[in-house]
Amino acid sequence: MLNQGQVKRIQQLQKQCEAHDGIHLKLDIEILRDREEEECDYFHYVDGRLAGYLALYPIDQEVELCGMVHPDYRRQGIMSLLLKRALKVIEKEKYKKILLNAPAKSVEAKAFFNQLPCDYSYTEYQLKWVKQEIADQDDHVSIRYATREDYQTEIQIDVECYGMSEKEAEEEYYELKQETGWRFYIIECDGVPIGKIRVEQNEDASWIYGFAIYPEFQGKGFGREALKKVLALEKGKNGIYIEVAATNRGALHLYQSCGFSIFEVQDYYEYRVN
């Protein structure tokens, strides 16, 4: 677990890198602050100053990596050293998939990835809601807090909407329920569960994840109505954010039509495991 001093130094380095490069790094500070996993954070200091940092984000059998190097210390092999240390742990844990993440606009990251045995995987859009009046809402669609009795519904939605196995869905369910800062909602139409959505409280901002509607209820406007209700609940926050894969054009159009605007594009590269 990171101490307060380490988290503060990471935040300071992140601000310096983002200001210098004009990007937004996907370093979820709340996850870093709260997680208890060992061997997920790698630091490189020069004369007592944090010059580089690399974070691992394990997700079942996959692991995502995101890192940064202070502008004054680049092209000195710091990120290569951090990655080498991290790969030893990744090999030990036997992750099946390794994803390297960086903002699409990061020239430094692209140059570094070009030196590695990795291939472009996919692009993800990060969107922020532009505060505005929320249109009238359909009373037939409602959202409520998920309870223990909704366990099977949440599992089934993940299986049908995300192609997860029941085992994978159950593992993710229990892992998320143990974390703090989440609000889990069930979406209903006339009292019948048709989907789910969860919101993470990250400092004074809200991030929307796991937004899914049963296939047989898709394309009928229920998702739009559910999203409007979530926005009505969260509109007092400093920011409301959501992420979507670039290939999911339907979801992207839905979010933009509800007032979301793209503020960052994240690229993912898959590291080739021997």
- pLDDT on residue 179: 81
Closest listed residue to residue 156, CA positions, set 144, 173, 175: 173
Which amino acid does the sequence have at 188?
Answer: E
Q: Is it true that domain 131-258 has CATH number 1.10.3090.10?
A: no
pLDDT in tens, the chain (274 residues): 789 999 999 999 999 999 999 999 999 888 888 787 778 999 999 999 999 999 999 987 899 999 999 999 999 999 999 999 999 999 999 999 999 999 999 999 999 999 999 999 999 999 999 988 887 777 899 999 999 999 999 999 999 999 999 998 998 899 888 888 899 999 999 999 999 999 998 778 899 999 999 999 999 999 999 999 999 999 888 899 999 999 999 999 999 999 999 999 999 999 997 6
pTM for this one? 0.86
- pLDDT on residue 85: 96
- pLDDT on residue 176: 86
- pLDDT on residue 35: 81
- pLDDT on residue 229: 93
What are the boundaries of each domain within the chain? 4-123, 131-258
- pLDDT on residue 207: 93
The class of domain 4-123 in CATH terms is: alpha beta
DSSP state of 160: H
CB 6 within 8 A of CB 32: no
Phi then psi dihedrals of residue 235, to 5 deg: -65, -15
- pLDDT on residue 51: 98
> Using N-to-C axis directions, what is the helix angle for 166-178 and 151-162, rounded to 10°?
120
3-state secondary structure of 159: helix
- Residue 130 CA to residue 46 CA, distance in Å, equals 41
